[in-house]
Structure 1
Amino acid sequence: MKKIYKYTLALFALLSMSSCSEDFLDRFPTEDVPAEAATTTTDNLFLVVNGIHRSLYQRYNSQGEGGIGSMMIQTDVLGEDFVMTSAGNGWFNNTYKWVDHTNASDADDLFPYRVLYRVIRNANVIINGAENASGPTADRDAALGQALVYRAYCHFQLVQLYGKRYQAGAPNNQLGVPIRLTTENNPLARATVEEVYTQVNLDLDRALTLLDGYERPNKSHFDKSVALGLKARVALVQQNYPLAATLANQARQGYTLMSNDEYFNSFNTYTNREWMWGSFVQEDQTIFFANFGAYVSRNFSSTNIRTNPKAINSKLYNLISETDVRAKLFDPTGAHSNLPAGVTLASNFAKKPFTSQKFIAAGTGDSRMDVPYMRAAEMYLIEAEALSYSNENAAKQVLLALASNRDPSYTLSANTGAALKNEIYTQRRIELWGEGFRFYDLKRLNQPLDRTGANHDPALVGQLFEVPAGDNRWQWQIPLDEINSNPLVEQNPS
């Protein structure tokens, strides 16, 4: 891990970040900040927390490495629901073809590994040093709780990408990822999948206690609801359905679903009433062509978006009711004659069928948009899916609450068994399109990739239309940089 962990706390010089309250906008006076200095006071702890927040939408080695937003694009283009309409200027094309993550020497295979472990390292600065920080106990607990959520989130993402899927009732002794609990860069072997999930849950349980009663300054910070939401995600992956249903219900309390008008015209702001966690990118913190909106928005005037507007799988679109507001987020004609308020497209924007207008950037010359990491709608979907295994009537009521909000013509489902589960999965695919979930969902459900019969261009997907469930390619290759610097790490089968 030497190459992965050779970073100093220079990250904390990036502390004039937009996702923070004004109290925490001061910079450290030097770019080389020892861990001891970062944990001397609770104010300094929050500078570290805010540095981590900022790192989620930082540009790394290339414009295709724009933090968590770029990882969301990676995991969606690996699925069947996110469609590239042309080769554009090349970004994410090899990911779409399943080439990048199956090549250990590829920079895009390394990108999530490097960045997520970097976040873990900085979270560990707080976790291992917070007890000595002077200042109010409540502030120390809030900083520590958020650091624990970050460590849990990153290990959870890593094990889903680079490890095999979790199987309830099995020993889950298959290889996961190294568990990093300190800032040291000593070589570590890969823990088992079970061990990784155990640590994730330990961190979240501790965070839930520490964040109880914490009122965050904005939605880039974690509060108890986000920790509950993340633990609900983990429980769903572990197929602990009773726990997933309970946690998801608890997490969504206090949030209300968007109106149809808000969904169509005001989705792209983290102050949106149903956003639980997201990044706000203010103007002086833009990363320009590395922003999430530089690739997924409909209106930013970049070569990538003008020539390669992103589309929904045509088969999935055809499952959306005409009275569902989410049908308006995509245009089957591609003409985009009904765009969100204030949005226009110049004549040099390609018009392709089924293209999305869900994501809208700040302007044609400004790719900024807030990045959604967790929404209350997801919690409804987790709860409905989890309940479908034990109480179908309750599952239908939860599904009704979400689906009838999106579609006034929706009525209580008459489906049962597998048909009910498939209805919930379809609602999830529609609702969370473009938000980075599809690869993870296919893998956790042990479902195959199937792009056949839709609007995927054979040339653009490299003829890769199907990948069987359980195929080795569902595990990303451990990056070659890690293999070369850590003799204890074993590579995944290719």
Structure 2
Amino acid sequence: MKRNINILLLVLSVMLTVGCADDFLDRTPTDAISAEAALSSPDNMMLVLNGLHRQMYAQSPLPDASWSRTGQSHFMPSLDAMGGIVIHTSPGNGWMRSDLQWQTHIRSDYSTPRNLWYQRYHFIASANSIINKVEEAGMVKDELMNNILGQAHAYRAWAYHQLVTTYAKGYLVSADPSTQPGVPLLFKTEAPYTSEPRASVQAIYDQIELDIDQAITYLKDASSPNNKSHISLNAAYGIKARIALSSGNWADAAESAELARQGYPLMDEAAYTSGFNTYDLSEVIWGGRVIDSETNYYAAYFYYLGTNFNGSQNRGNPKMINNAIYNALPATDYRTKLWLPLAPNTNASASNEQGGSSTTDPNYDNDDDFWAAWSNVVSTYKMTTGHHTHPYMSVKFLGKNGGTIDPDDVPYMRSSEMILIEAEAYAMQNMIPEAQTALALLGDERDSAFDEAQFDDQAKLMDQIKFQRHVELWGEGFGFHDKIRWDEALDQTGSGAASVLYQDGFKQPKASENPKWVWRIPQEEIDSNPNLTEDDQNKY
């Protein structure tokens, strides 16, 4: 029998990835200890949670996951590439190419759907172990234990939300979530580790909502989080806001988003253009602190998106924003500085066939100016002479030590996202003044000439909110699921993306009409789970 959730739980019962000290996330590598020891005390349970914090960004040691699909470090840029937000300029070294071409997630035998599935069930299994042990042993629920249980319930809610929004039809585009197949719902951690059939989408959401509300209850009376890698009360409210937004629970989405952003003021221009390379930025609510001994180097978040990271993915394949979106940004918006519309196209292998010299790049008419512009970009952003440049390339994510492979932090949640959730939730309730007020919080900071009064009905507000999410959250992993929620088709026409590179990922009908927005369940799971057959597989 091939590996599946059952075996994953068996592995968990023998070994849990944990840290070795309270300052694990600052300087200490992970280790492994027995499950009995890992669950024997609150301090050891916290180490188990530290292992989950690491799994958010690190290379996976799980038997059913490959090291090249490293938690959120891979899936955030991948989902934005699939959703038409992060645009690749060339085939590069091949990494993520099949993702953006809409090839991997529709194949049950590919590593992309397998990794997301088993990594998320690893989070669920670990959370189950903590939650069940506390209840079975009748452990005292003091502030430390409330912190542990709050994070465990929040991680379980987060993981199920990731699974159900990816391997099942979107809640808002489904005719009836109560009959739509979701994912297996698991609570047990003891033998015989029997998995379950697919629960309905509604059943999964019901459990997600119970878990995140329980997490918030615990975290209200918990010890303070050690750092931003831990799930705080604010982060739990942010997870709740995302859940509510995806299911159309607009009132909860607005309320939870507002609570999530309290105490996390928006960055000013200097901070916003500093490279997004530390979770110490004021508006980062939840993020991964990546330490030297735990970095995943050539599968790191900055390997995909860090303009000056010294890896082949960046050197030959600078990522760019949708050209039409960028061109719609007013000059008074300082986010225009995060992309370079006139960067020379120096890569002869660029997919738009305009790269290599001034004779092919329409922005330049002589090689002296062409290469001088390249030299200026390289020196300004601390890239190497091996880095190519491309029009509309991003300089949003910049490594602190440009031209190296040194690790940098990964942002999972920012207060600007919460503001945009508020605005969308109010707009969807047709609460126009409230939506305008929320939108102005972000717009006034980013654009000195922003005027929310021009967005005076629901349609105008939603158009602006979509535009703002595209710009503000570029590279942070929301593009694919945003299009599902909005039931929008994917169309890269006019974006700068090359159809020869993107292939099936260049155009796709909207999710309500197109089953390919739902990922295939890993074949290992179908083969091994006694409660699933080929009839349970997502069909295209």
TM over 0.5: yes
- 241, 246, 268: which is aligned to 1:232? 241
Question: 1:346 and 1:107, CA in 2 relative to 1: closer, same or farther beyond 3 A?
Answer: same
- 193, 202, 213: which is aligned to 2:201? 193
Partner residue in 1 for 2:90:
86
1:133 and 1:140 in contact (8 A); partners too: no
Q: Does 1:483 align with 2:526?
A: yes
3-state SS, counterpart of residue 180 of structure 1: coil
Partner residue in 1 for 2:39:
39
1:112-261 residue pairs with structure 2 within 5 A? 112-131=116-135, 132=137, 137-167=142-172, 171-172=176-177, 173-184=179-190, 185-214=193-222, 215-261=224-270
Superposed CA deviations along residues 87-136 of structure 1, whole A, max 9, x for unmatched, are 11100000010000000111112110011101111111111112437577
AA in 1 matched with 2:410: V
- 292, 299, 310: which is aligned to 1:290? 299
Partner residue in 2 for 1:377:
416
Cα distance in structure 2, aligned partners of 1:396 and 1:346: 44
Structure 1 residue 313: deviation in Å?
A: 0.9
Question: 1:17 and 1:54, CA in 2 relative to 1: closer, same or farther beyond 3 A?
Answer: farther
- 101, 106, 109: which is aligned to 2:113? 109
Partner residue in 1 for 2:57:
57
Partner residue in 1 for 2:362:
none
Partner residue in 1 for 2:353:
none
Structure 1 residue 346: deviation in Å?
A: 2.5
3-state SS, counterpart of residue 359 of structure 1: coil
3-state SS, counterpart of residue 383 of structure 2: coil
Structure 1 residue 304: deviation in Å?
A: 1.2
Cα distance in structure 2, aligned partners of 1:26 and 1:69: 18
Aligned residues: 490
Partner residue in 2 for 1:354:
392
- 273, 289, 309: which is aligned to 2:282? 273
Cα distance in structure 2, aligned partners of 1:49 and 1:339: 41
Cα distance in structure 2, aligned partners of 1:342 and 1:404: 28
AA in 1 matched with 2:417: E
3-state SS, counterpart of residue 273 of structure 2: helix
Structure 2, gaps ≥5 residues long: 344-372
Superposed CA deviations along residues 183-225 of structure 1, whole A, max 9, x for unmatched, are 2531210110000000000001111110004321210011111
Question: 1:218 and 1:11, CA in 2 relative to 1: closer, same or farther beyond 3 A?
Answer: farther
AA in 1 matched with 2:112: D
3-state SS, counterpart of residue 265 of structure 1: coil
Partner residue in 1 for 2:516:
473
2:78 and 2:96 in contact (8 A); partners too: yes
3-state SS, counterpart of residue 347 of structure 1: coil
Cα distance in structure 1, aligned partners of 2:269 and 2:416: 13
Cα distance in structure 1, aligned partners of 2:309 and 2:39: 41
Question: 1:271 and 1:301, CA in 2 relative to 1: closer, same or farther beyond 3 A?
Answer: same
Larger radius of gyration: 2
Cα distance in structure 2, aligned partners of 1:206 and 1:397: 30
3-state SS, counterpart of residue 500 of structure 2: coil
Cα distance in structure 1, aligned partners of 2:171 and 2:257: 20
1:19 and 1:218 in contact (8 A); partners too: no
Question: 1:462 and 1:123, CA in 2 relative to 1: closer, same or farther beyond 3 A?
Answer: same
1:277 and 1:373 in contact (8 A); partners too: yes
Structure 1, gaps ≥5 residues long: none
**Range that drifts further, 467-476 or 365-374:** 365-374
- 426, 431, 454: which is aligned to 1:391? 431
2:109 and 2:522 in contact (8 A); partners too: yes
2:12 and 2:125 in contact (8 A); partners too: no
Partner residue in 1 for 2:444:
404
2:174 and 2:180 in contact (8 A); partners too: no
2:102 and 2:504 in contact (8 A); partners too: no
